[in-house]
Structure 1
């Protein structure tokens, strides 16, 4: 079995559906079915049972599917090791990056890094910070960039920290907030919890939600057009001209701070590409240079 075969088993085990797995792998259903049959022939055992509600793995198939993550990680490690034996950073760097960092910081970061290490390629997975944290924890990516204080036990770098702010088009007073329309947006659960805890600790009534939008950038644009106020991360609000900002303060009188971290595993530094990337990011003023 090659790397593609292990990825097929991993995807089938996650999707439990031939059609969805084929779409995810960018394969036709006949091609996927044929490859499964070849794997079954190689092991001389049936691996899947097909039914009206999808597929079910046989015990042999489930065992192989559970080995897929380990085998893919091992194959990636071998490939990285071979590609870096000449002591020059090369190969594929697997990154997990939060949505906000992907939009606002990642393009320039990757360009600057590749200018210095042109033989390094990137495979980037984006999502909410909690998802990136799990990808890093499960070793599906080598480096994770997340926003929020997740409980990571391995080595990490603090990239920057920012205050949470009330942002509004016109100057407002804090005690006016329950009567004013607030623009809500989809965000990571950890940030939502921080905001909700601050609100319930400050006010006795629920916020008046004027509209709900897809992301913080959209919220900022609505605020800039005077359609309500938003509770935004400082790195976004501070770069928006013309907004009035009120930094949030916790019950102890300290600023309410959100941190952005780079997570990695010690053994991932065996890859020269990872080692150089961690060192490169550590030298940057991440907040102001990107």
Structure 2
């Protein structure tokens, strides 16, 4: 199998029509049809179902198309990075993260990694599921999230770093503001959830905390990020649950209150590709191990 076979396949999969795909590739249809047939024979899988008005992808064909597109994304990044190295420019280390991670150890990781390796560090705000796809395509090198992704393929792994306590965010001077609050008390208030979007996400984790205790919650609004959620809390739209490290924001219009319920926590996961580590990755993992141990031992929140 050669790259041209994958390019032919992607064109046909996108157009769902051999004639249009051949025109797009600037080639005749019969050779294209033969190339696709050879590809199917080589991998031993039927990728297309021939229909009267064109062709449709089989389930195996849909999967093959997604993976083929990732291969080309990865190839583009490899070529670009190779050109950077050849021209003696700095290498880029790309980190994906969910917003609530940014208030903890991530800034320290970036500050220490840059001078240690000489690499340029890029930060990309991505939900956990988006991080997995970005890792597969080579758009990021590691990711930090709060949701465990089931049915991961063997090319990407997730590692639990630690469990972080959750706290309740209420408008400052709220009538329920006190030293601790229970989930049962909070269930009587409207709740602001984040992030909005497809599951699994942090919002599902929060709702499950209440449902596991037989509590029902009224959702006032769903938003995409923690800052917007806290702004709605300050506007007295309701309360929200946030990881403990978000308290570092120090907003004067929001109170962060510990929970009396035991083991109300959010996990923090590291996601990365399963591949040999280069020098930058080794340095990043060394720094991260130290930061996580400090966090677990309570040396800083």
Q: Normalising TM by the smaller chain, what interval?
A: 0.5 to 0.7
1:212 equivalenced with 2:222 (yes/no): yes
Shift of residue 45, structure 1, vs aligned partner: 6.4
Q: How does 1:123-202 map to 2 (within 5 A)?
A: 126-136=125-135, 141-150=140-149, 154=157, 156=159, 158=161, 160-169=162-171, 170-172=174-176, 174=182, 175-187=184-196, 189-202=200-213
Return 5+ residue gaps in structure 1 as ranges: 19-32, 48-52
User: CA 1:99–1:140 in 2, change beyond 3 Å: closer, same or farther?
Assistant: same
Distance 1:237 1:64, change over 3 A: closer
| TM-score using structure 2 length | 0.58
CA–CA distance in 2 between the matches of 1:284 and 1:147? 17
User: Which whole-Å CA distance do the structure 2 matches of 1:255 and 1:279 have between them?
Assistant: 28
How far is the alpha carbon of 1:83 from its aligned partner? 8.8
Query: What is the aligned partner in structure 2 of residue 227 from structure 1?
Result: 237
Cα deviation, residue 132, structure 1 = 1.7
Matched-pair contact (CA < 8 Å) for 1:133–1:146: no
**CA 77–210 in structure 1, closer or farther in 2 if over 3 Å, else same:** closer
Q: CA shift at 1:226, angstroms?
A: 3.2
TM-score, L = length of structure 1: 0.60
Cα deviation for residue 81 of structure 1 reads: 9.3
Deviation by residue 1:179-226 (Cα, 9 ceiling, x = unmatched): 43322332562433332222123454x323333333222111222343
CA contact (8 A) 2:11 2:24 kept: no
CA-to-aligned-CA distance 1:229-276 (integer Å, 9 cap, x gap): 2222222245444544444466xxx3211122223345331x222222
> Are 1:183 and 1:230, in contact at CA under 8 Å, matched by a contact in 2?
yes
Which secondary structure does the structure 2 equivalent of 1:148 belong to? coil
Aligned residue runs from structure 1 range 1-290, under 5 A: 36-37=25-26, 67=68, 69=70, 91-101=91-101, 109-110=109-110, 112-120=112-120, 122=122, 126-136=125-135, 141-150=140-149, 154=157, 156=159, 158=161, 160-169=162-171, 170-172=174-176, 174=182, 175-187=184-196, 189-204=200-215, 206-237=216-247, 239-242=249-252, 243-248=254-259, 254-265=262-273, 267-269=275-277, 271-284=278-291
Cα pair 1:165 1:247 within 8 Å, conserved: yes
Q: 1:54 to 1:248 in 2, by over 3 A?
A: farther
Taking only aligned residues, the RMSD between alpha carbons, in angstroms, comes to 5.4
Give 3-state SS (helix, strand or coil) of 1:163's partner.
Answer: strand
Counterparts in 2 of 1:45 and 1:91: CA distance versus 1, 3 Å: farther
> How far apart, in 1, do the equivalents of 2:35 and 2:73 lie?
22
Aligned residues: 263
Q: CA deviation at 1:147?
A: 1.7
Give me the whole-angstrom Cα distance separating, in 2, the residues matched to 1:165 and 1:63: 41
